[in-house]
Amino acid sequence: MAGYDIVIVGGAIVGSAVAYYLRAEGFSGSIALVEKDPQFTYSATTLSLASIRQQFSIPENIRLSTFTLGLFRRLKQEFGDDADITFRETGYLILAGEAGLPILMANHAVQIAEGGNIVVEDAQALKQRFPWISDEGIVAGALGLSGEGSFDAHALLTLFRKALKTKNVDFITADVTGIERQGNRVSAVLLGSGESLEAGTVVDAAGPAAGKVAALAGLALPVEPRKRNVFVFEAREKIDDLPLTVDPSGVYVRREGSVYITGGAEAEATDGPADPGDFEPDWPLFEEAIWPVLATRIPAFEAIKATRAWAGHYDYNTLDQNGVIGPHPEVSNFLFANGFSGHGLQQAPAVGRAIAELITHGGYRTIDCSAFGYERIAAGRPFRELNVI
């Protein structure tokens, strides 16, 4: 049986970032990165909207994204002169009606205290800034002036994976089908091939499948796949200064080159666990739920047609839509890096760093992630993020 000090289950952005920062922190033990889908065809990372923001409701989430923003700013120093993830700093514009205004203002105060470059403008000022917007039902909007926008998720993942090739990390293509425990320790990871890997520590980086992987070790984690549909459309009129705009209904839209991408129409009332194999877009959502909102909010989008669509799965934490980071309190050599519920891509570098600090130094050094610990899950005590897009 092969043996590793660290076995990371899931090799997409979170798993790769954990391995990368373990080496950056000076961890010299052996590391296996186990991934069943090495092309990442179905990973949340590559099916995401690939955007980063500071507009969260709790400081800890802002700090995680700000760490990643710092990495984007010094990408070439970190990964070499060729490194490019086409980061476009076009901002987020989060719109609020009367009912949403107090939350928008409270969030803004938190963001400013964390150093976010975000302004809140009333409907009139927004119309002046963005003449293409309709202020029907809108009283204000929060706009990120810098540090927010979109990037190429696949390129970011490739940078991490390429860097790992020279860092003595074993890439193993396999499906993890079992995890052995001896009392309060995990001891081995079983692979679909029938082989097993002895493990000093197991890190769960399985994204939407994280709950399933935790269950293999007999641990309960309220993270499940939730299907999210993204539609691509074209419009005759080009809106060059379109930020990632989020309507109070939850529908969002952003520019992607010469086309636009939109989503956010899944109804809360019917939202539930997805079939892990279902990646078929729910086309009626575009006509029935998205188009009416877009046509109202941005009249230039009245005559649009969806040309393409895809569906991915959120790594959805049903307790509080927030990350679960760190060890299981009793099975302390099983570590969670899960449940980011739509904001895990932008947080992955920071989370990778946090997990690496825990393993290497026995505690957090860069960002204190204790608030994301499993203890709140065990106690059923939500640590809720309000800005889930």
Ligand X SMILES: Cc1cc2nc3c(=O)[nH]c(=O)nc-3n(C[C@H](O)[C@H](O)[C@H](O)COP(=O)(O)OP(=O)(O)OC[C@H]3O[C@@H](n4cnc5c(N)ncnc54)[C@H](O)[C@@H]3O)c2cc1C
Q: Does an H or E element contain 14, and which? A: helix 13-24
Stretch that binds ligand X, among 102-110, 111-119, 200-208, 296-304 (CB under 6 A): 200-208
Closest of 38, 371, 44 to residue 172, by C-alpha: 38
User: In the bound complex, what is the minimum distance in angstroms from residue 136's beta carbon to ligand X?
Assistant: 26
331 vs 345 by CB, closer to ligand X: 345
Three-state DSSP class for residue 82: coil
Left if phi > 0, otherwise alpha if psi is -120 to 50, otherwise beta: which for 35? beta
Stretch that binds ligand X, among 83-91, 287-295, 337-345, 380-388 (CB under 6 A): 337-345
By CB under 6 A, residue 208 contacts ligand X:
yes
User: In the bound complex, what is the minimum distance in angstroms from residue 76's beta carbon to ligand X?
Assistant: 22
User: In the bound complex, what is the minimum distance in angstroms from residue 330's beta carbon to ligand X?
Assistant: 22
Q: What separation, in Å, do the N-terminal and C-terminal C-alpha atoms of the chain show? A: 44
By CB under 6 A, residue 256 contacts ligand X:
no
> Which of residues 335, 345, 367, 369 is near ligand X by CB under 6 A?
345
Structure tokens at 26: 């000076």
- The CA distance from 184 to 261, in Å, is 46
> Which of residues 6, 9, 32, 369 is near ligand X by CB under 6 A?
9
User: In the bound complex, what is the minimum distance in angstroms from residue 102's beta carbon to ligand X?
Assistant: 25
By CB under 6 A, residue 161 contacts ligand X:
no
By CB under 6 A, residue 314 contacts ligand X:
yes
User: CA separation (Å) from 183 to 43, 197, 202?
Assistant: 32, 18, 15
* Max intra-chain CA distance, the chain: 67
**Class of residue 6 by CB neighbours under 10 A (exposed 0-12, middle 13-18, buried 19+):** buried
By CB under 6 A, residue 313 contacts ligand X:
yes
By CB under 6 A, residue 322 contacts ligand X:
no
Give residue 232's identity as a one-letter amino acid code.
V
Task: Tell me which residues touch ligand X (CB under 6 A).
Answer: 9-10, 12-15, 34-37, 40, 43-45, 47-51, 175-176, 205-209, 213, 228, 230, 312-315, 340, 342-346, 348
